[in-house]
Structure 1
């Protein structure tokens, strides 16, 4: 019996085509499935349609800014969110982390550091999911958290 590896889906919310393309290419090379979104409004549409394993989020976006997108994500989802922004002021970073982001990287960024942080967040996230699943019993569509 062959093991089926779960695909990891990452939403990349970035309005700059070059940066979005770079991040998407790196995700593909690492075996992840990237989905670009070029505005905050588009990002929210994707978040409402699908369960994501991670979100990479720029703050300066057309439509709805990154802070608003983060707030909307946190209303219903615990997905890891990594902010990647040109806004590098200390208070912006603090505000983003306190608003619910899991990490913050300033532009310009080192792609290897971004990939290492993504891998670390996904590793921690999958470990937490496995722990949660061990504490749950499911029978005929009913799940009980032991």
Structure 2
């Protein structure tokens, strides 16, 4: 998974924060990813992970803490939860600003599955929520939570 590995993830983005955060991933059992690029300034990268027991919920909690606790190195940059609770069992829409290209992350949980989607170049929260709904629908095929 060459494009699904790398520095696009919310975990990797935490390097813009002065304070340390625990890794999001807790005892993953499996993962699968896909990447789509329309232009150098636009990309969609998705990674779906299956977790043991309650670890999918722990991952979502850690994502919330990472974003809300972030104290950026650069005062021109920010990381914020723009919306939550709009898809699946749990969902977050996270926005990063200050590096020139809008970036959004979607985290959607259905049962023991968590999808993390990076939307590089996407600045429309309504479009991000629409994508999250589609992600949640696709996760139903992989879990008994639906």
Query: Is the TM-score greater than 0.5?
Result: no
Higher relative contact order by CA 8 Å / sep ≥ 6: 1 or 2?
A: 2
Structure holding more strand per residue:
2
TM-score normalized by the length of structure 1 = 0.27
Larger radius of gyration: 1
The structure that is helix-richer by fraction is 1
- TM (norm. structure 2) is 0.27
